[in-house]
Amino acid sequence: MSEKKSFETARETLKQLTLRKLPPTPVNYKAIYNEIAGIPSVEHFPAQELRGIASALQAKTPGQQRQKGLLESSIDRMNWDGVRAALVAYASFLPIGTESGNPSVPVALMSDTVPALTPEFLAQMGRLIEYAQPALGSDDQRFVEQSRELIKALKQPAIDIVAVKQLLVNYSHRLSFAAEDQAEIKNALLKLLHLVFENIGDLSLDEQWLKGQMDALKVASAPPLSLRRLDNVASLLKDVISKQKDAKEKTSLAQAEMRQLLAAFIDRLSQMLQSTGTFQEKMEESARLIESAKSIEEIAPVLKDVVGATRNVVKDTLSARDELQSMREQANSTQAEIAKLHQELDRISTQARHDPLTGALNRRGLEEALEREISTVRRKETPLSVGLLDIDNFKALNDAMGHAMGDGALKHLAQVARECMRPQDTLSRYGGEEFVILLPDTVLEKGIEAMTRLQRELTKRFFMAGTEKVLITFSAGVAQLNNDEPGMEAIRRADQAMYLAKRAGKNRVVGT
């Protein structure tokens, strides 16, 4: 309270004493002064004694320190309610046992002084252990029995703290082993799956769509696992498997038609050879008849037979040609369908390297693109810059407008980025609202300029959330790849620079 305000309060107090016709005793003066100043009037408030109690209280934990401070503040304000609340809260931070090492008392005897250890609280702890049990597995039968025993003890109406404490000690000891086992089992399974995926991929180098499947599964099984990512990949693989089945059926049909075509060709060729042989014999016979003929009348029937035989041969040849042409067109049509299916499979396999929401590369696609760019850098000795951007206040946008609008904002940024990038640049979605842009043949300063241009472009092109215009900004970090530096290390440095940009006020670009 300032001196001026204190003086005005004192003057108003004297005025009220006069108006109320009260004798100017210390008690009356204090009562009216506290009333005007808004200070609770407490008769016989033992401030000095309470300060002595507060100074004697220990403050070994942050909770105790806080409650001790609140107690001292309440004493200064002569606030009994604050003193009572601070003392009760301070008691909740006391250890269960006494300092002399005597056994702890049951919760039923301490519920009035230690509200944190009520039967309801311990029952909730039992439910927490029960809910966590499925994640820890049931292979260790002894651990399962310990869990059941502890849960049962925690749910008892009257709890023996000494027994529960010992059960908790044994449970936590066994829990550490169970958790380690589950973590090792998970890692071993992931390694086994990756070995299977890599082996199938290596055996299918000529089948790019199948290699794409394996790449997608490797990405999906890479930690940290995400149910959303697994669902996306599962949907993608179902589509690929359907196309694969269709392509297999079409391939089998094409092979059967090709066999029929070859068989028909051989059959027609045999018939043509047979017809040709008969025609040749007929011509030789006709030639002998013509040579032995003595008059025109004898030659006429022979010529008639020759013309008839020639017409038959031409007719058979044309018929065979038309039939073979029809079968060839049918085979070409089937082959075209197979080629189209394989192109579709290749397209879907390519999608396994792309983020389904924004169309940008996913983490797997980024790793492959980064590997290619670094190979070019090492071979041609050209610069490569990496930009990592993170949308500012994206969580607030999601909370205010919903996840659908958040997804729309991500797609908007990706679209604007693609239109601002050069053809040789690569955009990838690195995380939830994080994107990485690979900038080949670009030094650090030019990389910073490129990210700044993208920021300016976003200020010109608002994201439309229905009829509302929303300005999307981002903070970015840019790093230039050093000699012999791994690509992911450059991305890590860009990520650190991005956080510096966030701390500097957001909507900035920082180079490193």
Can you give the pLDDT at residue 55? 83
Per-residue pLDDT of the chain (512 residues; tens, 9 = 90+): 444 467 788 888 888 888 887 887 777 777 787 788 777 665 567 777 788 888 888 777 767 777 888 888 888 777 777 787 788 777 766 554 444 444 444 444 344 444 456 777 777 777 788 777 777 777 777 778 878 888 888 777 777 777 777 787 777 767 777 777 677 777 777 777 667 766 666 655 556 556 666 666 666 666 655 555 566 566 656 666 776 677 667 777 766 766 776 677 677 666 666 666 676 776 777 777 766 766 666 666 766 776 777 777 777 777 777 776 776 777 677 677 766 766 666 666 555 678 888 989 998 889 989 998 999 898 888 999 999 999 999 988 888 888 888 999 999 999 999 999 998 899 999 988 999 999 999 999 999 999 999 999 999 998 988 888 889 999 999 999 998 899 999 999 999 999 999 999 999 999 98
**Rg from Cα positions in the chain:** 44
Return the closest-CA partner of residue 439 out of 431, 429, 451, 454.
Answer: 451
Q: Note the helical H segments in 293-391.
A: 296-351, 363-380
Nearest to 40 by CA among 49, 48, 50, 30: 30
- Assign 3-class secondary structure to 207-260: CHHHHHHHHHHHHHCCCCCCHHHHHHHHHHHHHHHHHHHHHHHHHHHHHHHHHH
Q: 463: helix, coil or strand?
A: strand
pLDDT digits (tens, 9 = 90+) for 94-115: 554 444 444 444 444 344 444 4
Number of H helices, E strands in the chain: 17, 7
Helix, strand or coil, per DSSP, at residue 362? coil
- The answer to whether 324 touches 267, Cβ cutoff 8 Å, is no
pLDDT at 1: 44
Across the chain, mean pLDDT equals 76
pLDDT at 490: 95
Token readout for 448 is: 């910073």
For position 305, what pLDDT does the model report? 72
Instruction: Return d(Cα 268, Cα 281) in angstroms, integer.
Output: 20
Pairing relationship of beta strands 474-480 and 509-511 according to DSSP bridges: parallel
pLDDT tens readout for residues 280-335: 776 777 777 766 766 666 666 766 776 777 777 777 777 777 776 776 777 677 67
Please report where in the chains the tokens 């690929």 appear, as a residue: 240
In a 13 Å sphere around the CA of 275, the CA atoms on its Cβ side amount to 19
Q: What phi-psi label fits residue 359: left (phi over 0), alpha (psi between -120 and 50 degrees) or beta? A: left
The first and second tokens of residue 422, run together, are 């050069």
pLDDT digit string, tens, across residues 215-272:
666 666 666 555 555 665 666 566 667 766 776 677 777 667 667 766 776 776 666 6
* Residue 87: closest CA among 98, 108, 71: 71
User: Side by side, which strands form the sheet with 509-511?
Assistant: 426-429, 434-440, 384-391, 474-480, 509-511
- Residue 214, judged by CB atoms within 10 A of its CB (0-12, 13-18, 19+), counts as buried
